[in-house]
Amino acid sequence: MSLIEAIVLGLVQGLTEFLPISSTAHLRIVPELLGWKDPGAAYSAVIQLGTVAAVLIYFRGDLVKLTVAFFQGLARRQPFATLESRLAWFVLVGTLPIGICGLAFKKHIESSLRSLYIISTSLIVLAIILFIVERVASHQRTVADMRWKDAIIIGAWQSVALIPGSSRSGTTLTGALSLGLRREDAARYSFLLSIPATTLAGVFELKHLLEAETRPSTVALATGTLVAFASGWAAIAWLLRYLRTRSTMIFVVYRVALGLVLIGLLQAGVLKPLSGVENVATNPSEPTKPPVEKQVTD
């Protein structure tokens, strides 16, 4: 992977991770259009650590309050006494569905599900669902009104994002809006909910990526992660400002348009569904091992 590729992919990751348009879709589409090899699900997960860092720093005040309230609640044996302590528990509980599903379907997520046909379909289907939710939702509730049921439902929506093209931000926003949350509150909770899932995925995949025989250089990984951090910070700030006064309809239109263009390019033969996609050795059921001869000599 060249330095230019790492910069472009980091920029794409950062700008699209928090917008409801799917970073995974763009990390598959952009290399395909530019004639580059698919960076793979593992590389995508690792540079997500840059966007995780952006969330951690941007919401550092909220995170400190949630962490302190969480441990104070445990110490006082009143774990759900305050809004901050409840939110901390909601984030933890909401992370369980995507963690379980991610481990269960890891092999497919890294290979067959990265088909551009699946990505284009996901873009369009989730756009339609978001459009319907926007039309019928009340947009009245805040995070202070959230209950356990809300946390579980939004967590289940987040697990849908394991299907490439769905968008973690898009699915959690859709789930939160469907429960009547205001757009800005839905986005803020979506950002907080992203931290455990994307951090664990990035660390987990980094370990396997470093064990693989063929992998991007350390410079490429570091560059992509740093660019993802900077562009992710900008995307967070912009989206929160945007949703204070506007709906998500611009993203609905963009997703449908991108999905249709993608299908057209696939049908015309300009793009291939799984071109460049490899079931890389990040699959724990097929670990990369050194040759037998090397094992003996070592």
Tokens at 114, concatenated = 């990265």
C-alpha to C-alpha distance for 5 and 30, rounded to whole angstroms: 10
Range in 9-23, 66-80, 153-167, 191-205 with the lowest mean pLDDT:
191-205
C-alpha to C-alpha distance for 242 and 237, rounded to whole angstroms: 9
Q: At what angle do helices 183-211 and 83-104 cross, to 10 degrees?
A: 40
Using pLDDT thresholds of 50, 70 and 90, give the confidence band for residue 277. Answer: low
How far the first Cα of the chain sits from its last, in Å, is 30
C-alpha to C-alpha distance for 29 and 12, rounded to whole angstroms: 10
Predicted TM-score (pTM) of the model is 0.82
Using pLDDT thresholds of 50, 70 and 90, give the confidence band for residue 110. Answer: low
Question: Per residue in 179-207, pLDDT tens?
Answer: 999 999 999 999 999 888 888 877 777 77
Question: Per residue in 142-154, pLDDT tens?
Answer: 999 999 999 999 9
